[in-house]
Amino acid sequence: MTAIVEVRDLARDYSMGSGAVHALRGVSFDVQDGEWVAIVGPSGCGKSTLLNLLGAVDTPDAGSLTIAGERIDRMRDTDATAFRLRRIGFVFQRFYLMPALSAAENVELPMAEAKVSREARRARVQELLGYVGLGARAGHRPSQLSGGEQQRVAIARALANRPALLLADEPTGELDAATGLEMIELFRRLNRDGTTIIVVTHDAQMAAAAGRRIQMRDGAIVSGDAP
Amino acid sequence: MPVRLALLALFRHPARTLLALLGIAVSAALLLDMVMLASGMRENFKGFLMLRGYQLRVAPKGTLPFDSDATIDSATALVAAISKLQGVIAVSPVLGAQVQTTAAGDSNVTAFTLGVIPDVQGDYEMIRGRDLTDSSSVVANERWLEATGHKLGDTVTLAIGYDPQLRTTVGARRFVVQGVARFYYIAATQPTLGMLLPTMQAMGGGARRDRVSLVMVKAADGVDAEVVRERIAAVSARISAISLEGATEAVEQRLGYFKQLALVLGSISLAVGVLLVTTLITISVNERAGEIAVLRAIGVAKGSIVWQVVMEGIVLTSVGAISGIGIGLITAQWLERILSDFPGLPTTFHFFVFQPRDAGIALAMLAAAGMLAGIYPAWRAASLPIAGTLRREAVA
Amino acid sequence: MTVQWIAGLVAVMSCAAVVHAQVIDSAPARSPVVRSVALDARLATDHGLTIGDTVRISAAPGDSLAERAVVTALLARRADPSEIARQEYRARLHLDQLQRLISYGDRVDRFAVQSRGDRERTTLLDAINASAFGFRAWPSAEIAVRTSRTFQVVRRFNSAIGVITIVASAAFLLCILLLKIDERRRDVAALRMMGISANTIVKSVVIEAGIIALLGSMAGVAFGLIVARLVNWHFQGVYRTTLAFTLVTPQTVLFACLLSVLLGVVAGWVAARRLVGQPALTLLGR
């Protein structure tokens, strides 16, 4: 298997009042193509910071980060945005669907930005919503969907442009136990179908379902950095 | 997609959007009115002067027509000289003076009277009755009939002066009210009469013999009126020849107060419109900082987000501006009614003249303003750090 | 001797006429009697005339019947909106000189009559009107009212513009205050969840909105005063007049402040009631 994510000595600091907070201290690991990795650890250990760096929504202060053969840490904002659009799928804890758009329109959004033709977009939307089990709810607004359904739409949106990597930040954080299990099952299916997934989670069952667990504490990896 | 997102963002808070539209509509209305006021007077006045096709006016040196009681002497020779000039196809001499008539109850009514030559006159149009035919006929406006209590067909005594020593009228004659006319260049509230020019001159005795107040000149089609004007000016040193442009400019100077006012108010209403749209967009964008950060996170380019927000500003100002056109036309009529009360203003003169071009100018200015108003807040919002914004929104 | 022709003087004292003035910078006295003349201050400025200069006045340029006069006073243009933009110059001559120059004979356009008192004035008016034919006598106050019609029209026009501006401003004020108060929905939700009553919240929002409106209107008054000064300075310079184009009076300040506070309070009340009418969790977006 080829390494789709290569992280070397990644560091990120935040200035807070009088001093700096070392959110990440020299983190290094690889993720192979088709792997499902869960990043776990106590609150404030740097999990979300790491995910943000992997998703190119933040820039490291030191180290290197390569995803699908491209150096992310050196990218300009416009290049990073385009990279996120085409190569990364992001799933958030709070779903963050556009409240004024329907489920189908939310899924269509990244494809519209990527200038995919209308026919191709429509076909892909139907395919994805069917995949996540919401084919019949395409016209519903987020306010008309349950938490689990909203998260499924968010996942479908993240997969719209066939990303190389799916990143999920506490995807079951806002869901009840039963829905959380459904979500875990969906992730399992995605991974089985070839999607490389990195999940940040507090959910023990989500972490257990993943192929590998990276344990973090105080901004560093304590275990699981090797496949 | 950006247009759809822009429209959805606006409709998310209908009450707020409606209020903003109302504010923009009223601003647009005021802006349209000021554009109409600034440009309309000029266009209207030109049309007003050209009602009967006379492009040139000849008045006593240094004055505008009927600016003063000054008259031009040796009128017959002057008219003949002008008529012979190359390019002139019609010449209409006019003499204006105050004429007295006795009304019901022995009170006097002073009428402003024009002595004209009916075949070439360019000062009135007949409403009913007959035009001037002989030296004993007059035409009157409605106001004169109302003031004197006379009607069409009545015989009246008109006098042009009063001798206090002899305590008698001067130049009194009897006339038949032969027709009712609408005088283009005189206020409807002013009692007005028209009679034959020679009659008027004769009534004035020596003081008005062979004198006129004004000569109107028509140049042939295709002839440069300015060239004819220069030829007329060369005929005599005691006259001023005034072209359409010259007269328009002179009147514009006198009504320059309103044009300046129009410019100032127009600028203020545009500025206020921009301020409102900027404020609205800024607050709206701040509320959606989290959404915008998510859009950035899933790969939507900064430019697309800026474009979406700018579209909101354009849609808001365009819809508001289009509604404002209707309001502007109504308020223009109201303002026109107020200004038409100006003393001595001719009935055919209008301050506010709607031209589609004016609406286009007002709309374009507001749309441009709306676009500019959205750019800065949009750029700021799209430039917020994604991770930090998401974290802040999650905490909130 | 330098000679300049100045065309277009308009005499206004007692009859309207067009006369022409030829300025003589330094002319030896030819006639023993040289009359005085008062010229338009603009004319003086534009052609470098001062009090003491001698001018030659005639009814037409180059007229051999021109008469000399010494400039003894300068006239300021009346602060009338319908006159300030007029370009022609004005002058005042001795009546008999003007009558002679324009061949007017023993005629005038109007008389001004001073009576001993109010009672005498009424008797006098009646007597003149009863004996006159062809002219009428008017009390000066009535003339003032009639000739002030331009002011009245301009006043009504400006009031109408003011009304339109107020409507637009009211809509803006309401919109912006609604926006600002709506931004605080989470704060309101938190307060409601703590047990603070809806009435308390509404009162505090209304007071806040009123204070914002009052402070805003005071800033607006200060801004208006500055703009008014700038407008007057600009237009008085353009038209060379003392006419005040814009005036900020205590009444307008009071009206503006009261209206904006009222609108602010109304907007605050409407927005606050909308917010407290919704469940707290809805305000939090859940």
Q: Please check the confidence at residue C63 and state whether its pLDDT lies above 70.
A: yes
Residues C69 and C82 in one domain: yes
Neighbours of chain C (3+ CB pairs under 8 A): B
| Residues B85-102, mean pLDDT to the nearest whole number | 90
Which secondary-structure segment (H or E) carries C73?
strand C67-75
Among B206, B237, B62, B75, smallest CA distance to C104 is for B206
Cα–Cα distance list, A89 to A86, A152, B274, C229 (Å): 8, 13, 39, 60
List phi, psi (to 5°) of C66: -65, 150
Domain membership of residue C182 (yes or no) is: yes
Contact A112 B296 (CB under 8 A): no
Q: Compute the half-sphere exposure of residue C124: CA atoms within 13 Å on the CB side of its CA.
A: 13
Lowest mean pLDDT across C10-14, C110-114, C216-220: C10-14
What gap in Å lies between CA C154 and CA C81, rounded to an integer? 8
pLDDT of residue B353: 81
φ, ψ dihedrals at A69, nearest 5°:
80, 0
Whole-number pLDDT of residue B2? 67
Q: Which residues of A touch B295 (CB under 8 A)?
A: 109
* Closest chain B residue by Cα to residue A91: B298
Are both C136 and C205 inside the same structural domain?
A: no
Integer Cα distance of B35 and B328 in angstroms? 10
- Mean of the per-residue pLDDT values for chain C? 77
**Residue where a domain stops, chosen among C38, C68, C101:** C101
* Same domain membership, residue C238 and residue C139: no
Cβ within 8 Å, pair A81-B302:
yes
- B218: phi then psi, degrees, rounded to nearest 5: -110, 130
Residue A114 CB partners (closer than 8 Å, separation 6+): A85, A86, A161, B299
For B299, the closest of A81, A94, A98 (CB atoms) is: A81
Q: Which domains does chain A possess?
A: 3-223 (3.40.50.300)
Are C188 and C90 in a shared domain? no
C275 shares a domain with C166:
yes
Reported confidence tier of residue C28, pLDDT bands at 50, 70, 90: very low
Q: Which residues of A touch B394 (CB under 8 A)?
A: 93-94
CA dihedral defined by C133, B344, C8, B212, rounded to 10 degrees?
-60
- The answer on C257 and C182 residing in a single domain is yes
* Strand partners of residue C37: C71
- Is residue B299 a contact partner of residue B3, using CB atoms and an 8 Å limit? no
DSSP for residue B202: H
| A118 close contact with B: CB closer than 8 A | no
Q: Over B328-375, what HEC string results?
A: HHHHHHHHHHHHCCCCCCCCCCCCCCCCHHHHHHHHHHHHHHHHHHHH
pLDDT higher than threshold 90 for residue A7? yes
DSSP secondary structure, B281-336, as one string: HHHHHHHTHHHHHHHHHTT--HHHHHHHHHHHHHHHHHHHHHHHHHHHHHHHHHHH
Residue pointed to by tokens 């209304």? C206
Q: Residue B169 phi/psi, 5° resolution?
A: -75, 160
The domain boundary, picked from C131, C147, C163, lies at C147
Domain membership of residue C140 as a residue range: 118-147
Query: Cβ-count burial of C117 within 10 angstroms (0-12 exposed, 13-18 middle, 19+ buried)?
Result: exposed
Q: Can you give the pLDDT at residue C17?
A: 43
CB atoms within 10 A of CB A136: 9
Q: Which of B92, B121, B84, B89 is nearest to B222 (CA)?
A: B89
Distance CA B82, CA B231 (A): 8
Virtual torsion, Cα A129, A134, A135, A136, nearest 10 deg: -150
Cα B16 from chain centre: 37
Which residue carries 């995803």 as its tokens? Answer: A67
Q: Are C160 and B161 inside 8 Å of each other by CB?
A: no
Identify whether C231 is part of a domain.
Answer: yes
**Who wins on pLDDT, B205 or C218?**
C218
In sequence order, the β-bridge partners of residue A11 are A62
Looking at the domain assignment, is residue C111 inside a domain? Answer: no
Q: In this prediction, does ipTM exceed 0.85?
A: no
- What are the residues facing C3 on neighbouring strands? C24
pLDDT per position as a tens digit, B322-378: 888 899 999 999 999 988 887 777 777 788 888 888 778 877 888 888 788 888 888
Distance between B290 CA and the closest CA of chain A, angstroms: 8
Pair (C13, C51) in one structural domain = yes
- In angstroms, the separation between the Cα of residue C9 and the nearest Cα of chain B is 8
Q: How many CB pairs under 8 A join A and B?
A: 72
Task: Identify the weakest region by mean pLDDT among A2-11, A45-54, A180-189, B308-317.
Answer: B308-317
Is B7 an 8 Å CB contact of chain A? Answer: no
Helix B256-287 vs helix C149-182: crossing angle, to nearest 10: 10
Find the helix packing angle between B386-395 and B289-297, rounded to 10°. Answer: 130
- Name which of A92, A93, A100 is nearest B12 (Cβ-Cβ): A100
Same domain as C247, residue C143: no
Q: Is residue C133 part of a domain?
A: yes
Tell me the mean pLDDT in the region B278-299. 85
Interface of B with C in 157-186 (CB under 8 A): 159, 161-162, 164, 167-169
CA angle C184, C188, C193 (to 5 degrees): 150
What is the residue whose two structure tokens read 């806002």?
A174
User: Is residue C27 pLDDT above 60, yes or no?
Assistant: no
Looking at the structure, tell me whether residues C128 and C31 fall in a common domain.
no
Q: In this complex, do C179 and B396 lie within 8 Å of one another by their Cβ atoms?
A: no
Domains identified in chain C, total number: 3
Looking at every residue in chain B, the average pLDDT score rounds to 85
> Does the pLDDT at position C21 exceed 70?
no
Whether the pLDDT of residue B386 is over 60: the answer is: yes
Tally C-beta pairs within 8 A across B and C: 151
Tens digits of residue pLDDT in B61-71? 877 777 777 88
Q: Strands across the sheet with A165-169, in order? A: A88-91, A165-169, A197-200, A36-40, A212-217, A220-223
| Segment (H or E) for B266 | helix B256-287
Range in B112-116, C192-196, C257-261 with the lowest mean pLDDT: C192-196
| Residue range B164-185, pLDDT digits in tens | 666 666 778 899 999 999 998 8
Local structure of residue A224 (DSSP, 8 states): -
Nearest CA in chain C to B320: C168
User: Is pLDDT at A216 greater than 60 in this prediction?
Assistant: yes
Inter-residue contact B172 to B212 (CB < 8 Å)? no
- Residue that wins the pLDDT comparison between B15 and A211: A211
pLDDT band at C116 (very low <50, low <70, confident <90, very high): confident
Contact between chains at B5 and A100 (C-beta distance less than 8 A):
yes
Burial B341-355 (b: 16+ CB within 10 A, else e): ebeebbbbbbbbbbe
Structural contact between residues B191 and B147, judged by C-beta atoms closer than 8 angstroms: yes
For residue C110, is it within any domain?
no
> How far apart (Å, rounded) are the C-alpha atoms in residues B96 and B192?
10
pLDDT band for position A227 (cuts 50, 70, 90): low
Select from B371, B361, B337 the least CA-distant residue to B266.
B361
With respect to residue C108, please indicate whether it lies within any of the assigned structural domains: no
- Sequence-distant (6+) residues with CB within 8 A of C147 are none
Q: What does the alpha-carbon distance between residue B217 and residue B57 come to, in Å, rounded to a whole number?
A: 6
Chain B, window 315-354: residues with a beta carbon less than 8 angstroms from a chain C beta carbon: 331, 334-335, 338-339, 341-343
Question: Which of B1, B294, B304 lies nearest to residue A96, judging by beta carbons?
Answer: B294
**Chains near B, with 3+ CB pairs < 8 A?**
A, C
Residues C69 and C156 in one domain: no
Query: Residue B211 gets which letter from DSSP?
Result: -
Of B19, B334, B343, the CB nearest to C171: B19
Q: Give the CA count within 13 Å in the CB-facing half-sphere of C112.
A: 6
Distance CA B13, CA B24 (A): 17
The phi and psi torsions of B103 (rounded to 5 degrees) equal: -105, -175
* Cβ-contact A161, A110 below 8 angstroms: yes
Chains meeting A at 3+ CB pairs closer than 8 A? B
pLDDT of residue B279: 82
Question: Is residue A226 scored above 70 in pLDDT?
Answer: no
Of C15, C136, C165, the CB nearest to B30: C165
